[in-house]
Amino acid sequence: MSPDNKIPQAIVQLLNSKAVVKQDVYASTHRYFEILKDVLKEVVEIYNPKVQPNDQRLELAYTDKGEFVVQLKVAGDVLVFHMHTNAFVFDRDHEVWKSEYVTNNLTNAYCGVINIYNFLHDSFRYNRLNDLGYLIARVFINKDGHYFVEGKRQKGTGINHFGTSVMNEENWKQIVETAVLYALEFDLLVPPYDDMKIISLMQMTDEMLNSRMRTGKRLGFIYNSDDVKQ
């Protein structure tokens, strides 16, 4: 076969194999993201009656921001759940390649990802666009609904879990509750004094306060230092 004939054959082969897998990964991730939305609504219904009566500051609130983004407000925190629309494969040094589940079928390594970020509620309330959010978990889901989680205190759902069970409402609930607990325990720390001791008159205007004085739970500190309990 001439080189000119090999190129079209390779294109067709990849379209019928890898491209199909990626489309299946997207469909699978999107399906489980819709299940996540229902779980978040259920979490709100479960916990709101249990918080201090008549104190609306403590209430949980679910907000659907579109097809690929939803939010869960928990007191002074907001968890943002974002589904990426692309399929990913892992770098060759990743632990996923040591999994028997993947070595038996390399296409199992192609995953969609749903990121969970922790923001302060006031960042949204006051439109502080430069405030910082933190990635506290990311959920990888493949074409067959098998999953694993990289994140803060997400025990029992790591890479060794990949291939042993399929994502469902109960598994989502465990992931969400772990993320909520971590966000509530993840306190806002005072920035170092030297970072804040000088400010210009211009920065003191409302506009500059919103755009220049960033707030985040670990602003000026090493993020991993909070991770002692993992």
Distance CA 195, CA 180 (A): 30
What was the pLDDT predicted at 227? Answer: 46
Banded pLDDT at 10 (limits 50, 70, 90)? low
- The alpha carbon dihedral of 102, 107, 29, 132 has a sign of positive
Range scoring the smallest mean pLDDT among 26-40, 68-82, 88-102:
88-102
Q: Which amino acid is at 106?
A: L
Helix or strand holding residue 150 (H, E): strand 147-151
Classify residue 145 by burial, with Cβ atoms within 10 Å: 0-12, 13-18, 19+.
middle
Give yes or no for a contact between 140 and 102, defined as CB atoms under 8 angstroms apart.
Answer: no
Model confidence pLDDT, tens digit, residues 179-224:
999 999 887 766 677 766 766 656 556 555 555 555 655 543 333 4
CA atoms within 13 A on the CB side of 174: 13
What does the alpha-carbon distance between residue 89 and residue 206 come to, in Å, rounded to a whole number?
44
CA distance 34 to 45: 17
Give residue limits of the domains in the chain.
Answer: 3-187
- Tens of pLDDT along 97-117? 999 999 999 999 999 999 999
Residues 6+ positions from 224 with CB-CB distance below 8 Å = none
- Buried-exposed string 207-219: b where 16+ CB fall within 10 A, e elsewhere: eeebeebebbbbb
Q: Contact, 137 vs 179, CB < 8 A?
A: yes
SS3 142: strand
Element (H or E) spanning 23, and its range? helix 18-47
Residue 135, SS3? strand
pLDDT at 3: 58
